[in-house]
Amino acid sequence: TVVKKQDRPMTACFDRTGKQVVVGFRRGEVRVVSSESGETLLVVQASGGAAIKGLSLSRDGKSIVLNCTDRVIRAVAFDNLAEGPRAAGRELQDVVNRSQWCHACFSADNEHVIGGSTSATEQKLYIWDLHGHLTKMLDGPKDGAVHFSWA
């Protein structure tokens, strides 16, 4: 079977039980697939329809963060994901610089979302609470972060 470019997964992660895989696609689609049977359990279009280049589940498995190519990080309750675009959750972004995000994840206590942006001249980490308020912005070296985890 030939898989079209827009149908190829861009990112994936297991849920906390390992029984499901959450997969993000170029067309902004999120699929939940059984890791045991390979059966697709849920297919939804993420709010905005932009390609999903990264996703991360909270430690408690109740929320998901989508890092999209439209420069918006979306934090959505996993149970509400089935509502599709109506379950937009929080849309987090740098409204001044319109930064492209390299990665996003939840804090260890699931109370904050961290997003990292890098460019040739700077690295910034943004921390938001789950109400969408920017609580902290950290500047780093030029090297930049590609991936990180909040333990």
Q: What is the DSSP string of 112-145?
A: EEEEEEE-SS-EEEEEEETTS-EEEEEEE-TT--
Furthest CA-CA distance within the chain? 48
> Residue 133 corresponds to which tokens in the numbers above?
């308020």
pLDDT beyond 50 at 1: no
- Residue among 55, 58, 67 at smallest CA distance from 13: 55
The span from the CA of 75 to the CA of 65, in Å, is 4
Q: Which residues contact 21 (CB under 8 A, 6 or more apart)?
A: 12, 13, 14, 15, 32, 33, 34, 35
Structure confidence at residue 2 as a pLDDT band (50, 70, 90):
very low
pLDDT beyond 80 at 131: yes
| Contact (CB, 8 A) for 145 and 118 | yes
* The residue to which tokens 């001249």 are assigned: 121
Structure confidence at residue 16 as a pLDDT band (50, 70, 90):
confident
What does the pLDDT look like over 90-110, one tens digit per residue? Answer: 889 888 888 888 899 999 999
What does the pLDDT look like over 115-128, one tens digit per residue? Answer: 988 776 778 889 99
CA dihedral 60, 63, 66, 70 (to 10 degrees): -150
Query: What type of residue is 2?
Result: V
In this prediction the pTM is 0.84
pLDDT beyond 60 at 3: no
Q: What is the DSSP string of 29-86?
A: EEEEEETTT--EEEEEEPTT---EEEEEE-TTSSEEEEEETTS-EEEEEGGGGGGGGG
The span from the CA of 143 to the CA of 108, in Å, is 25
pLDDT at 54: 93
